[in-house]
Amino acid sequence: MISFQTKAQFNKDAAVILLTKSQIEKKKFNFSNAKIQNAVLDLAKNKTFCGDKDSIFPLTNEKKLVLLVGVDESKDANLTSLRITIKKALSSSYLKNAKTIELIPQVNDEPSIQALIEGIMIGAYKWKKYIKADEKEIKLKQIIIATPNKPAYQKTIEICDGVNFTRDLVNDNADVITSEYFEKTIKSLIKGKKNIALKILNTKELSAQGCGLHLAVNKGSDKEPKLIIVKYAGGKKSEPYTALVGKGLTFDSGGLNLKPTGHMETMRCDMSGAAAVVGTLKNVLKLNIKKNLVFVCGMAENAIGSCSYKPGDVFVGYAGKSVEIGNTDAEGRLVLADTIAYTVKNYKPATLIDIATLTGAVAVGLGFDFSGLLSNDQKLADALLKSSQETDDRIWQLPLYVEIRDAIKSNYADLRNSSNIKGGGAITGAEFLRNFIGDTKSWAHLDIAGSAFVEGTSRMYYGYGGTGAGVRLLTHYLINN
């Protein structure tokens, strides 16, 4: 989809030229094509095109389209705005029939080109498996960026592929993307790869291991629960392992604490954490990242049936701790509790990062553009925050503190899966998980319940559906730490 050339040639179906207002005002642009150079100069002189943010002006050059696009350079301008601009430009009706597009940036620094690649690949993504035809679809076969190729750009392309791979998993039907589908997908990713070990626990194995919390959530479903573990020995034998653990609720009805209309319709996205782990696995394998890693997906379905687990029930999990069910819609933390405890005991990772669409409360506090971060290790938190800033896969740190532990106490069990206080739901959810990390001194929890899915038409440079939240963040963290 994306390729590179050293300079503009203006020989494709269309050319998209990115210009800022100051470049237009000062006439600081130089195109290899004299006709286009003179045309843009004339437009600048008579102020027909001023380079205002997201403004678009079409020209023709030997029956080929040239699209001038204004790029934000205000004090608030950043690489996010550049990603948004290129998405809007490529969505223009002018380019509807263009099969090859030449993209001509006036700034060629590495971060800007990487942002353009993300704007193209993430912005142009559309889930269309069940759509016969859509006139508004961005029909792009090839985009050629007029800048010399670099290894960093190819890496960005690969990472974006991983993001969109995750989005495909999130966007399909819940009865398609089942735990069995996840198993097949992971097997296809690791087939023929070296230094890989796969372990899968189904109902029988989960029961034998005492994963009572995981099994409780799945009691109302006819789909089999699974704990899928990929051990990747990419680093030296002496190096410690990092574990990535994802919540994989292939659908969440809320259980007997049924979700109301307006809250259940998009709950196929409740496996976004596990999908992000799989997308990151894809990137690790493609980029041959030299680290020792464990990828873990805790898969279940929170359905309703005569066998559904009930509020007030008490179950004992893998760690031996009993949990009172205060709310069957606080199911993800139960699956994660057993998944995390099993990972810690059997793989002893030095660092563990879990990622989950855990609480609606995180969206109340942070909105939909940021994921929540909670950690017992500030060094790990700082590294993740830095990766967030570098990738635009946004996170914001929330506190964990001693007093919040009382919020998940139970009169009938060691813990309660829902808080007994009002407010702070994202924090109490993380506090529940903290009880299952054992002696792990470097743990982080990423709550992507707000950021993982777009329910409206679009948000930033994402269209409707899954965003792939966490994939760029985790991939960058693994490469750089």
The secondary structure of 253-307 as a DSSP string is --TTSPPPTTTSTTGGGGGHHHHHHHHHHHHHHHHT--SEEEEEEEEEEE--STT
Burial annotation 44-67 (CB, 10 A radius, 16+ → b, else e):
beeeebebebebbbebeeeeebbb
Q: Letter for the amino acid at 49?
A: F
Q: Could you tell me if 184 and 142 lie in one domain?
A: no
User: How many residues can be counted in the chain?
Assistant: 481
pLDDT of residue 133: 67
Choosing from 149, 167, 190, the residue where a domain stops is 149
The total number of structural domains that make up the chain = 2
Q: In what order do the strands lie in the sheet with 56-61?
A: 2-5, 142-146, 100-104, 14-20, 64-71, 56-61
Contacts of 137 (CB under 8 A, 6+ apart): 126, 128, 131
Q: What is the pLDDT of residue 473?
A: 98
The 10s digit of each residue's pLDDT in 357-397 is: 999 999 999 999 999 999 999 999 999 999 999 999 999 99
| Cβ–Cβ under 8 Å, residues 381 and 444 | yes
pLDDT higher than threshold 80 for residue 140:
no
Judgement on whether residues 102 and 203 belong to the same structural domain of the protein: no
State percent of the chain over pLDDT 70: 98
DSSP state of 406: G
Amino acid sitting at position 127: W
CA gap 149, 468 in Å, rounded: 26
Across residues 274-278, what is the average pLDDT? Answer: 98
Backbone φ and ψ for 65, nearest 5 degrees, come out as -80, 140
Angle at alpha carbon of residue 165, lines to 285 and 141, rounded to 5°: 110
pLDDT value at position 135? Answer: 55
Residue 405 annotated among the catalytic residues of the structure: no
Same domain, 115 and 215: no
One domain for residues 129 and 210: no
Q: Are residues 406 and 309 in the same domain?
A: yes
CA distance linking residue 136 with residue 458, whole number of Å: 14
* Res 111 pLDDT > 70: yes
Shared domain check, 321 and 202: yes
Is residue 28 part of the annotated active site? The answer reads no
- Which of 149, 167, 185 is where one domain is finished? 149
What's the one-letter identity of residue 318?
Y
Q: What does the pLDDT look like over 170-194, one tens digit per residue?
A: 999 999 999 999 999 999 999 999 9
Contact 326, 276 (CB under 8 A): no
Identify the domain containing residue 88 by its residue range: 2-149
Q: What is the DSSP letter of 225?
A: P
Residue 136 pLDDT > 70: no
Per-chain mean pLDDT for the chain? 95
Instruction: Tell me whether strands 241-252 and 351-356 are parallel, antiparallel or unpaired.
Output: parallel
The pLDDT tens digits for 296-346 are 999 999 999 999 999 999 999 999 999 999 999 999 999 999 999 999 999
Q: Please tell me whether residues 419 and 324 are part of one structural domain.
A: yes
- Say whether pLDDT at 440 is over 80: yes
Pick the catalytic residue from 64, 199, 259, 348.
259
Q: Is the CB of residue 113 less than 8 Å from the CB of residue 82?
A: no
Of 149, 180, 212, which residue is a domain's last? Answer: 149
- The yes-or-no verdict on residue 15 having pLDDT over 60 is yes
Alpha-carbon span 370 to 289, nearest angstrom: 26
Instruction: For residues 351 and 273, state if they share a domain.
Output: yes
Q: What is the pLDDT of residues 34-60, one digit of tens each?
A: 899 999 999 989 999 999 999 999 998
CATH no. for residue 48? 3.40.220.10
Instruction: Look at residue 96 in the predicted model and tell me its pLDDT.
Output: 87
Question: Which residue out of 333, 416, 434, 472 is catalytically annotated?
Answer: 333
Percentage of the chain with pLDDT > 90? Answer: 88
Same domain, 120 and 172: no
| Residue partners of 63: CB distance under 8 A and separation at least 6 | none
For residues 220 and 90, state if they share a domain: no
Which residues are bridge partners to 200 per DSSP? 228
| CATH number for the domain that contains residue 370 | 3.40.630.10
400 touches 427 (CB < 8 A): yes
For residues 111 and 179, state if they share a domain: no
**pLDDT band with cut points at 50, 70 and 90 for residue 31:** confident
The label of the residue with tokens 């490529």 reads 90
The Cα 41–Cα 49 span in angstroms is: 10
| Beta carbons of 292 and 221 less than 8 angstroms apart | no
Same domain, 139 and 178: no
Nearest by Cα to 13 from 48, 51, 60, 45: 60
